[in-house]
Amino acid sequence: MLRLILFLLLPVFLLTVGAGVVFAQQASPTPESATLPPGGSPTGTQTLIAEIATQSPLDITYPVHGLKVTGVVAITGKIGVSGWTRYELAFAFADNQSENWFVFAGGNSPLSGTALGSWKTTAISDGDYNLRLRVYMSGSFQDGFVYGLRVRNYTLDTPLPTLSPTRTATSAATITPTLTPVPTFTSTLTPTTFPSPTVLPSNPASLGNTEIVFDLARGALLIVFLFGVFGVLLRLRRR
């Protein structure tokens, strides 16, 4: 008798627990996967930096911006300020980020002609450099610059390519052009009508949270009742 009761109660218990798990999984929302909008990765553009104009009465007339220089370079220029006491010439790397300038020449007032000094480029490594003319006055100074000088003593120079026009001999005869009509195409845009989304009806087989809790509670009460009946039968059997 005891084995028969246990055999009957076991399937009921398993069915009640399994139904509760299935209903709980159906009630829980499924997260939607987010998709990124289509678009290419950002691509950079190469830009040539033009000469930086400086509003200064100081002028370095040679070398000029972007010039290739080798050996000993004679620096010429003019100083258009009054009351200056001395000047100095210095160079720095073109990509200088720390404002480190190296003085290589200088002079005092008055200036004799346009010669400012000599720059021995063989004493430095090849590369791109900037020149600075600094003029000191009473309690202040002013600067003039030349940018992008290409020092090439030990390496080959790779300047930007230039286009050279090629002259082509043409006949002296007069050529009469023939005009060919070009067909004109007119494109007509046809609007595309997309169907409106259809709202799907709710699933009649789905259960809410309240119904799931109610079914679990009813199953639990049924199990407790069956165990109570089973206990009463055992006590009656012992008597």
Residue 124, domain CATH: 2.60.40.10
Main-chain phi, psi angles of 235, to 5 degrees:
-65, -40
Q: pTM score, two decimals?
A: 0.45
Domain that holds residue 142: 58-151
Q: What is the per-residue pLDDT across 136-185, written as a single tens digit (0 to 9) for each? A: 998 899 999 999 999 999 998 765 555 555 555 555 556 666 677 666 65
**What pLDDT, on a 0 to 100 scale, did the predictor assign at position 80?**
87
Say yes or no to pLDDT of 229 above 80.
yes
**What pLDDT, on a 0 to 100 scale, did the predictor assign at position 120?**
96
> Average pLDDT of the chain?
74
State the total domains in the chain: 1
The answer to whether position 181 is within a domain reads no
The answer to whether position 17 is within a domain reads no
The answer to whether position 216 is within a domain reads no
Q: Who's near 64: CB < 8 A, 6+ residues apart?
A: 146
**What pLDDT, on a 0 to 100 scale, did the predictor assign at position 8?**
63
**pLDDT average, residue stretch 22-41:** 43
The answer to whether position 32 is within a domain reads no
